[in-house]
Amino acid sequence: MKKIGVLTSGGDAPGMNAAVRATTLIAAQAGVEVVGILRGYEGLLDRQFRALTRKIGDRLAPTQDVENGAQLGGSILGSARCKAFYEAAGRARGADALKELDGLVVIGGNGSLTGARALCVEHGAKIVGIPASIDNDIGCTSSAIGVDTALNTIVEACDRISDTARAHRRAFIVEVMGRQSGYLCMASAIAAGADAALFREDGRTPAELVKAVADVVRRGFEGDRGKDRILVIKAEGVEIPCTRLAREVEEALTPTLGDVEIRATVLGHVVRGGNPSFLDRMIASRFALGATTALLAGKTNVMTAWQTSSAGGEATQDRSVTLFGLDRVLEETAALLDGTSLVTKHRVGLMQKAAGVLSL
């Protein structure tokens, strides 16, 4: 291969730039030029390409912005969710633009990897995917770029909220991003010392959630237990809005507890920004090593996965990074979200066991 492309697509995730940098370094060292495709598949359709390597004497090196970008959140290439890619005609235009390149590294989540798979299957494109999504909703990998930074941001925000909550002896319901996945909610609830975690995957109705939160607040504030703050983390995928939940819990508690103050905070996009953590920079760089090496060796229609245990997949030179076919990744991603995946069942089971402990 002489020239490859790299793009970031879908919701940005802290660590994407570290993956772009490492992809560029590894390809450059192999004497392969790298072009960045701006704004994901949108930029592919419009052929918005930018050189990420430059010639210095007889060797290639990354451009200055690629080198300096690794510590930044967001995406220096820009990112987008490309509607045209849902249509065969859009993908055909994308495949046509790809003819200028010998291969492509796609850094993104479910939608981006679905687009990558379609380009491989329908047009024989050579693509290796790298999972990036704060939601941790991508199959076959225990983590994706951005998850660790997002969790650190949530935990820090919850610590701050706890300071003010304790000063006023209040209960807070904090909503965190994650789309249909409750992972950020579950993991941050443990780390932030929350009293409860509300996530879509356990299928509780709004009325059940109101009752559950009211019970947790009552137990915490009543009598001898006398907590000075209650923290409930709610996943974005739980449909009842945070403010409505807070109001209904207050109404349910007023007759017995008197005036209880429940406040609602939606963290929203704050969770997605910020400089990547050590772990995200490290995972991103190791994903890029696995992906670029695989692409240059002729692999396609696969994604790098992060393995904390031996969960199968084809080994790379890095024992923590394996390759999975995109078909299997996308099947497992669907199962993670519809609840049939063993991973989801395990997560939900653990959180249901933890529920009593969290609220002690």
At which residue do the structure tokens 């237990």 appear? 225
Rg (Cα) of the chain, in Å, rounded?
A: 22
Q: Contact with ligand F6P (CB under 6 A): which of 77, 80, 126, 135?
A: 135
Nearer to ligand F6P, 225 or 269 (CB): 269
Q: Give dist(CA 282, CA 273) in Å, integer.
A: 18
Of residues 14 and 109, the one with the C-beta less far from ligand F6P: 109
177 binds ligand F6P (CB under 6 A): yes
Here the tokens at position 333 are 């991603």
- The contact pattern for ligand F6P, residues 269-308, with x = CB under 6 A and - = no contact, is ---x------------------------------------
Residues 37-76 as x/- pattern, contact with ligand F6P by CB under 6 A: ----------------------------------------
- Minimum CB separation of residue 337 from ligand F6P in Å reads 12
* Smallest distance from ligand F6P to CB 269, Å: 6
Active site residue ranges:
135
Between 183 and 222, how does the x/- string for binding to ligand F6P read (CB under 6 A)? ----------------------------------------
**Residue closest to ligand F6P when measured from CB atoms:** 11
**Which x/- pattern, by CB under 6 A, does the window 145-174 give for ligand F6P?**
------------------------------
Comparison of 179 and 281: residue with beta carbon closer to ligand F6P:
179
> By rule CB under 6 A, what count of residues binds ligand F6P?
10
Looking at 60, 134, 232, 321, which residue binds ligand F6P (CB under 6 A)? 134
Could you tell me how far CA 257 lies from the centroid of its own chain? 39
The span from the CA of 14 to the CA of 284, in Å, is: 9
Q: Is 279 exposed, middle or buried (0-12, 13-18, 19+ CB in 10 A)?
A: middle
**Binding residues among 106-125 for ligand F6P as defined by CB under 6 A:** 109
Q: Using CB under 6 A, pick the residue from 5, 11, 103, 182 that binds ligand F6P.
A: 11
Min CB(139)–ligand F6P separation in Å:
15
Q: Does 236 bind ligand F6P (CB under 6 A)?
A: yes
The two tokens of residue 138 are: 């991508």
Least Å from the CB of residue 266 to ligand F6P: 11
Residues with Cβ < 8 Å from 211, sequence gap 6 or more?
A: 252
Three-state secondary structure call for residue 116: helix
Report the distance separating Cα 200 and Cα 118, nearest Å.
Answer: 29
Cβ atoms of residues 185 and 233 within 8 Å:
yes
Minimum Å gap between C-beta 12 and ligand F6P is: 8
Choose, by CB under 6 A, the member of 170, 179, 286, 347 that binds ligand F6P.
179
Reported in sequence order, the residue ranges of the chain that DSSP labels E, i.e. its strands, are: 3-8, 33-37, 49-51, 53-56, 59-62, 103-108, 127-131, 171-176, 196-198, 230-235, 262-266, 302-306, 314-315, 321-325
| Residue 161 C-alpha from the chain's centroid | 23
Classify residue 341 by burial, with Cβ atoms within 10 Å: 0-12, 13-18, 19+. middle
Which positions touch ligand F6P (CB under 6 A)?
Answer: 11, 109, 133-135, 177-179, 236, 272
